[in-house]
Amino acid sequence: MLERGFRWLCASAVWLPIALLAVLLTDVVVEGVGRLDWAFITSFPSRKPEQAGVWPALVGSVYLVSLTALIALPIGVGAAIYLEEYGERRLLGSIIEVNIANLAGVPSVIYGLLGLQLFARVLGMGRSLIAGALTMALLVSPIVIMAAREALRSVPQSVRETGVALGATRWQVIRQVVLPMALPGILTGAILAVARALGEAAPLLVLGALAFVSFVPDGLDAPFTVLPIQIFNWVSRPDQAFASNAAAAIVVLLLVLLVLNSLAIVLRDWSSRRRGDS
């Protein structure tokens, strides 16, 4: 009896969120699908809701997320390599570990404030794409570091010893043997980081990304906007037609997320096939 009850409880823990998510998705798709056409994707924002589109926000999001990944992945993986492969002071290592876990839980607005002060003001980058990407990179690097550490930890110690016993240096072993074996796990972290960066609006709002942009960012120092901010902006307008625009933009955002994630999953599967454990 208890067994069945528990089973039922766990099953509802699976199905309840899925049902809620399905309701949410249906609601958004139903509302937005009427607005979703090629013109909506390729148009610039407008005061007239039926002419408005997401092009600058879409391009801004893709640029921002790519830049964020370019910055956060090398730093995150490098930090993980240092902590896992070279970090010998165990106490310091565990203090750092706790702090990184805490950083992953810091509200994203705080990162926005940090980015505003450090990148936009002190370093004089202004409200630019690069300032946004650097802020986002700070935000997601704990995720990358934790995933990469986990992945490196899953590579058996005997593999490292074998490499070293063959006369290779630590770095040669890490680069040629350990990293390829850890790649699937690192890519999983990259997926999570990209998804997080794509969905964040708050830190960029604080940083001052523009809500109404009638141009595509043309350089690292250009002002920009992203899909979540565009959505936020449309949702806050009284006109019902803008709400439909917001719903359609959410669908676009979800599609971008889907594409980026599938790309990372394909990469991960490809690399784990190479690893030979598929």
Which residues of the shown chain bind another protein in the complex (CB under 8 A)? 88, 90, 156, 158-169, 172-173, 176-177, 180-181, 274-277
- Angstrom CA distances, 256 to 243, 250, 253, stand at 20, 10, 5
* DSSP per-residue letters across the chain: -HHHHHHHHHHHHHHHHHHHHHHHHHHHHHHHTTT-SHHHHHPPP-SSTTT---HHHHHHHHHHHHHHHHHHHHHHHHHHHIIIII---HHHHHHHHHHHHHHHTS-HHHHHHHHIIIIIIIT---SBHHHHHHHHHHHHHHHHHHHHHHHHHTS-HHHHHHHHHTT--HHHHIIIIIHHHHHHHHHHHHHHHHHHHHH--HHHHHHT--SS--S---STTSB---HHHHHHHHHTSS-HHHHHHHHHHHHHHHHHHHHHHHHHHHHHHHHHHHHT--
- Give the shortest CB-277-to-another protein separation in angstroms: 7
Name the residue with tokens 């980081």. 193
Nearer to another protein, 173 or 204 (CB): 173
Shortest gap between Cβ of 192 and another protein (angstroms)?
A: 23
**Which is closer to another protein, CB of 154 or CB of 214?**
154
Q: How far is the CB of 180 from another protein (least distance, A)?
A: 4
Cα-trace Rg, the chain: 22
Closest to another protein by CB, 158 vs 240, is 158
User: Closer to another protein at the Cβ: 102 or 172?
Assistant: 172
| Cβ nearer to another protein, comparing 87 with 199 | 87
Cβ proximity to another protein, 53 vs 184, nearer residue: 184
**Given the complex with another protein, which of 3 and 88 has the nearer CB atom?**
88
Least distance between another protein and beta carbon 168 (Å) = 4
Instruction: Quote the least distance from Cβ 118 to another protein, whole Å.
Output: 36
In the complex, what is the shortest distance from the CB of residue 156 to another protein, in angstroms, rounded to a whole number? 8
| Token pair listed for 148 | 């990469």
Residue 177: CB minimum distance to another protein, A: 6
